[in-house]
């Protein structure tokens, strides 16, 4: 079976800007939504190029913050990675989720 890689996903620019405001490490994120989208597109090309599946880990700010609090994570790069890994694991278990084409 191919690996399933969770990718932290922001649905639009306003969500991205609000996320930067709550992240404890906004300096580790691309400055703009357009820059983030370009970076993620390249990452997803690499994932698919390796024969793996890229799955969207939608960062809804309230849900993400609640998940981080419940699992002992900060709203930072480690928290985003852990959340994306959690979404990938759920996809492996249930087959439910949004594959990034």
d(CA 54, CA 99): 6
Residue 26 lies in a domain: yes
pLDDT value of residue 1: 55
Alpha helix (H) residue ranges in the chain: 13-22, 33-49, 61-71, 77-94
Per-residue tens of pLDDT for the chain, all 101 residues: 589 999 999 999 999 999 999 999 999 999 999 999 999 999 999 999 999 999 999 999 999 999 999 999 999 999 999 999 999 999 999 999 999 98
Residue 99 lies in a domain: no
CB of 79 within 8 A of CB of 68? yes
Rounded to two decimals, what is the model's pTM? 0.92
- β-bridge mates for residue 56, sequence order: 7
Residue 101 lies in a domain: no
Residue 45 lies in a domain: yes
Number of folded domains in the chain? Answer: 1
Q: By residue range, what is the domain housing residue 89? A: 4-94
Measured between its terminal Cα atoms, the distance across the chain in Å is 18
Residue 67 lies in a domain: yes
């Amino acid at each position: 079976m191919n690996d399933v890689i969770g990718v932290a996903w922001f649905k639009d620019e306003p969500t991205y800007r609000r996320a930067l405001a709550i992240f404890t490490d906004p300096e580790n994120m691309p400055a703009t939504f357009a820059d983030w989208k370009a970076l993620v597109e390249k990452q997803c090309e690499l994932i698919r190029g390796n024969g793996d599946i890229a799955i969207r880990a939608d960062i809804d700010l309230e849900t993400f913050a609640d998940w981080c609090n419940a699992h002992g994570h900060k709203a930072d790069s480690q928290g985003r990675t852990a959340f994306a890994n959690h979404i990938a694991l759920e996809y492996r278990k249930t087959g439910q989720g949004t594959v990034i084409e």
